[in-house]
Structure 1
Amino acid sequence: METARLLTLAERQLTQRIATALAAAGSTVDQWRVLGLLADGRGHAMTQVAEHVILAAPTVTKVVDKLVSQGLVYRRVDDADRRRVLIYASAHGKTALRRWDAAVEAERARLEQDAGDDLAQLAEVLSRIVTRLG
């Protein structure tokens, strides 16, 4: 199906540009997405993180392990269910996320300049499609 191919091409191009901006700021797309979820301060289980970033659990574990080793996130046993471990963004992680968000925002502005109104329209259409198909 041509639509699926075009979506894949657009996603790869957009992600590559964001990845380049994030690499210059010291991050990866996956790290940025994980930390973006965790910055809400509520703590999230690995399954929630994996669903949010659309990655397999083993891959998310590697990303989180790297973020832990950098002091950007930490794990804590869930007070409500001692069998569960929740992941939180550290203060250092929230600072890093602000830097990473700024890099992504600058790239988003360049993308909008290059793509014009089409990018915003695409986001609206994709949002409706995801809602209808989900």
Structure 2
Amino acid sequence: MSEPAEHVRPSGDESLRLLCAVGRTLDQELDEALRGCGSDVDQWRVLGLLAARGGCTMSVVAEHALLLAPRATKLVDRMTAANLVHRRPDVVDRRRVLVVATERGRAALAEWDAAAAGVLDRYRHLLGSDAALFDDVLRRLQDATGRAGVPGLAGLATEG
């Protein structure tokens, strides 16, 4: 007798499910670690981008933080009120507004990066000698999907 249809799944489907499940778990663990420092994943992503790039438009911030524009705007508004970022005119194109990290934001980011590093260390430990290979596979997937995030940040995750 054959297996019920619900148990017969192509391995690709299972790989996609596992990738999504691990991503969701990682987001939850990262968010929990950052909340212990008074932050969340979205704020950490935004400040990390701004510290690396200096200043970015809202569209770049939204893309990098994986947020829709209205949610990114609300997040930046909250971060501005907390003096983590501020908006300023672009010196090249005065019509554009850039979001820039404040000194307080940079100080907070240092603490948040330490919390995030703890989560990353746990995953690197679980992967053991495969950690570098896994990083490479993730980068190739990201590049191949055309959703590599913000141009010019490739390799930033391994700097430090």
Q: How high is the TM-score relative to the length of structure 1?
A: 0.91
* Equivalent in the alignment of 1:132: 144
2:47 equivalent among 35, 48, 63: 35
- Code of the aligned partner of 1:107: V
Q: Does 1:121 align with 2:127?
A: no
Question: What is the Cα deviation at residue 113 of structure 1?
Answer: 2.6
Larger radius of gyration: 2
* Equivalent in the alignment of 1:109: 121
Structure number with higher relative contact order (C-alpha < 8 Å, ≥ 6 residues apart): 1
* Equivalent in the alignment of 2:150: none
2:35 equivalent among 23, 46, 68: 23
Unaligned runs of 5+ in 1: none
The separation in 2 between residues aligned to 1:88 and 1:124, in whole angstroms, is 30
Q: How does 1:1-134 map to 2 (within 5 A)?
A: 1-40=13-52, 42-134=54-146
SS at structure 2 position matched to 1:55: coil
Q: How high is the TM-score relative to the length of structure 2?
A: 0.77
Unaligned runs of 5+ in 2: 1-12, 147-160
Question: What is the Cα deviation at residue 51 of structure 1?
Answer: 1.3
Runs of 4+ in 1 over 4 A off after TM superposition: none
Cα RMSD, aligned residues only: 1.6
Query: 8 Å contact 1:41–1:89 — kept in the other structure?
Result: no
